[in-house]
């Protein structure tokens, strides 16, 4: 019997690798006028747009009937003053699409020497990511650069692609070009690819390599356990994390890192838990920020919930709905962590009332 989603898995790896060609080349030579500020004040670069164009145009060839929920849209590139950015994106996306074929690449996906798209085709590909999401059917979710702020700081970011079927994440891949293979050797080899398929486990391999290694989270160990959390205090409350650490008596400081690279690290045994606690009311987590990561957690032996202990729901649309934070850790540690989180949430609510 053949395994489920074999083609989708291979496609996801190929698409993420090709998008990483773009992001890595932009990372090394990003110029000031290649970054925009979006309506929600967050940054977006030519790297984000080009990577989404690459993945989305490959998806259109490989799975023309599937819907796409992508973070970016091409409105700013279609504007009259968007020509400079648009030309750069066309150049970058075509460079990646036409790069040599590698292991597992299929030319019918619109890749390999000679594969080029027009500006209109690439802008349309970006805008094909406008699907509103939902509970039934097949959809892909793209975060072309997760951790754009980390990318701009010269630190961690991830290219993320996941297949969701009937609200369940079935396949997810992260490409992390700047992530050391071993966190304890920051100057050692960099570039990791994380892969998960539901029911088939999680794996890591070199971004440009072969030979995937299966990933299993190690059991809870009080002496080394610590949190993986966002670098950006506006994305995840650092003070809440530090109160939870105090309750648990943790000795190690948190590992701060941008992007879903945190989930890849958790799956391979770095830190011990992913923690993301809301910093205020109103922000709704986006499905593309957690789809691949959540599957990496469950396929490596962990549990992922919000701070009420509810599973993340990928069937509500482009967001995860009401935001009550995200907690992921090894399955035997989850209950202990959840009760510490809930204790701190209660304290914070009481303090807010008494203010």
Q: Does 286 bind ligand A3P (CB under 6 A)?
A: yes
Q: Does 127 bind Mg ion (CB under 5 A)?
A: no
Q: List the catalytic residue out of 12, 48, 292, 305.
A: 48
Q: Work out which of 283, 311, 339, 347 binds ligand A3P, going by CB under 6 A.
A: 283
Give yes or no for a contact between 231 and 256, defined as CB atoms under 8 angstroms apart: yes
Q: Which is nearer to ligand A3P, 165 or 261 (CB)?
A: 261
Query: For residue 326, which phi and psi values (nearest 5 degrees)?
Result: -135, 130
SS3 state at 124: helix
Is residue 145 part of an annotated ligand binding site?
A: yes
Q: Does 34 bind Mg ion (CB under 5 A)?
A: no
Q: List the catalytic residue out of 12, 23, 45, 148.
A: 148
* Burial class of residue 180 (count of CB atoms within 10 Å of its CB; 0-12, 13-18, 19+): middle
- Residue 75: name its binding partner from Mg ion, ligand A3P, none (Cβ under 5 to 8 Å by kind): none
Which position's Cβ is nearest ligand A3P? 230
Q: Which stretch binds ligand A3P (CB under 6 A): 57-65, 282-290, 301-309, 328-336?
A: 282-290
Select from 157, 186, 187, 188 the least CA-distant residue to 174: 157
CA distance 345 to 158: 30
CA distance 322 to 306: 10
Q: Does 37 bind ligand A3P (CB under 6 A)?
A: no
> Which residues, numbered 214-243, are part of the site for ligand A3P (CB under 6 A)?
230, 232, 234-235
Give, in order, the Cα–Cα distances in Å from 314 to each of 11, 37, 132, 241, 338: 21, 27, 12, 25, 21
Q: Which stretch binds Mg ion (CB under 5 A): 25-33, 117-125, 284-292, 305-313?
A: 284-292
- Residue 307: name its binding partner from Mg ion, ligand A3P, none (Cβ under 5 to 8 Å by kind): none
Give, in order, the Cα–Cα distances in Å from 22 to each of 56, 104, 328: 14, 19, 30
CA distance 164 to 134: 10
Per-residue interface string for the shown chain with Mg ion, residues 60-79, x marking contact by CB under 5 A: -----------x--------
Residues in the chain: 355
CA distance 126 to 55: 9
Q: Which is nearer to ligand A3P, 238 or 286 (CB)?
A: 286
**Chain contacts with ligand A3P (rule: CB under 6 A):** 42, 71, 143, 145-148, 150, 230, 232, 234-235, 258-259, 279, 283, 286, 289
**Chain contacts with Mg ion (rule: CB under 5 A):** 42, 71, 143, 145-146, 148, 289
List residues with catalytic annotation: 48, 148
């Amino acid at each position: 019997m053949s395994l489920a989603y074999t083609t989708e898995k291979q496609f996801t790896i190929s698409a993420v690798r090709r998008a990483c060609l773009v992001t890595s080349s932009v990372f090394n030579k990003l110029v000031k006028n290649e970054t925009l500020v979006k309506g929600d004040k967050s940054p977006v670069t030519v790297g984000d747009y080009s990577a989404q164009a690459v993945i989305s145009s490959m998806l259109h060839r490989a799975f023309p009937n599937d819907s796409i929920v992508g973070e970016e849209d091409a409105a700013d590139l279609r504007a009259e003053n968007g020509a400079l950015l648009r030309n750069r994106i066309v150049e970058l996306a075509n460079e990646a699409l036409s790069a040599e074929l590698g292991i597992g690449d299929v030319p019918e996906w619109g890749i390999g020497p000679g594969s080029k798209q027009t500006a209109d085709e690439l802008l349309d590909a970006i805008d094909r990511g406008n699907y509103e999401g939902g509970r039934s059917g097949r959809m892909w979710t793209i975060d072309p650069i997760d951790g754009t702020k980390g990318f701009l700081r010269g630190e961690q970011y991830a290219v993320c692609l996941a297949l969701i079927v009937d609200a369940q994440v079935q396949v997810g891949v992260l490409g992390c070009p700047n992530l050391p293979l071993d966190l304890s050797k920051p100057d050692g080899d960099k570039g990791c690819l994380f892969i998960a398929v539901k029911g088939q486990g999680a794996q890591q391999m070199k971004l440009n390599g072969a030979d995937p290694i299966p990933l299993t989270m190690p059991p809870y160990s009080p002496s080394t356990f610590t949190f993986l959390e966002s670098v950006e205090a506006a994305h995840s409350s650092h003070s809440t994390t530090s109160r939870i650490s105090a309750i648990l008596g943790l000795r190690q400081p948190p590992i701060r890192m941008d992007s879903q690279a945190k989930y890849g690290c958790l799956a391979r045994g770095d830190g011990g838990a992913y923690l993301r606690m809301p910093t205020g009311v109103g922000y709704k987590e986006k499905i593309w920020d957690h789809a691949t990561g959540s599957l990496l957690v469950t396929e490596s032996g962990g549990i992922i919930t919000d701070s009420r202990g509810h599973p993340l729901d990928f069937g509500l649309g482009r967001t995860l709905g009401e935001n009550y934070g995200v907690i992921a850790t090894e399955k035997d540690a989850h209950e202990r962590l959840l009760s510490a989180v809930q204790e701190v949430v209660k304290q914070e609510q009481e303090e807010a009332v008494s203010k």
